Chains A and B, each alone.
Chain A
Amino acid sequence: DAKTTQPTSMDCAEGRAANLPCNHSTISGNEYVYWYRQIHSQGPQYIIHGLKNNETNEMASLIITEDRKSSTLILPHATLRDTAVYYCIVRLLTQGGSEKLVFGKGMKLTVNP
């Protein structure tokens, strides 16, 4: 079962920042927070992941609260092509192998013109 809760859907205006929240109150100390998205029926696309510190890459920023019980994915300048289902996932990483990703229902982000 997914260990995260997300809103069902969210709208955002094109060009504005999209802030996507995620709760993971039962996260353990060695579990990472991952974000993926699925555009229409394509394969899921990796966005970003983090453990404790905030992370930024060319796609997005990930802000993790100090207690690690929640996080926010930030798309700084949303475009119409960012319309997708966004998945927040907690995942354990072990040396020599990796745990599977468990997808929940995700959150549908609609970017409007």
Chain B
Amino acid sequence: NAGVMQNPRHLVRRRGQEARLRCSPMKGHSHVYWYRQLPEEGLKFMVYLQKENIIDESGMPKERFSAEFPKEGPSILRIQQVVRGDSAAYFCASSPAWGGGELFFGEGSRLTVL
């Protein structure tokens, strides 16, 4: 049973470009969470999605950031017009609809903005 898969693992972008990070949840999981971790800091919640629905986006910056979890395919975290301050590790986690309650995390995507 494959774990949470994130890609790319490392991404380099220049200021002003777009970054797209993908997350494939564990098989059978329909809940996805995105977190951001700045260098030397803790994990900050960004957004919680279920299939085709955004449940909680209280941690998402108001501009340039968006997330989706379509009926088919991975969840996408999109950052438009990246700035240096967006350089961070972005972690995705998934959980089943109910039961257990554990979030299973991927290994993260590390974005570097030049």
Contacts and interface: CB of A to CB of B under 8 A. Distances in A.
Do A and B truly interact? yes
Interface of A: 32, 34, 38, 41-46, 49, 87, 91, 93, 95-98, 100-106
Task: Tell me the interface secondary structure of chain B in the complex.
Answer: strand
A38 B106 CA distance: 12
Specify which of A41, A44, A46, A106 lies most central, judged by the most chain B CB atoms within 10 Å of its CB. Answer: A44
B89 interface: yes
Nearest to A91: B101
Contact of A100 (B33, B89, B91): B33
Given A41-B108, A97-B31, A102 B45 contact: yes
B92 to A, nearest CB: 8
Contacts of B11: none
- For this complex, into which size category does the number of interface residues on chain B fall? 20 to 34
Interface of B: 4, 31, 33, 35, 42-45, 48, 50, 55-56, 89, 91, 93, 95, 97-98, 101-108
A82 to B, nearest CB: 18
A100 B56 contact: yes
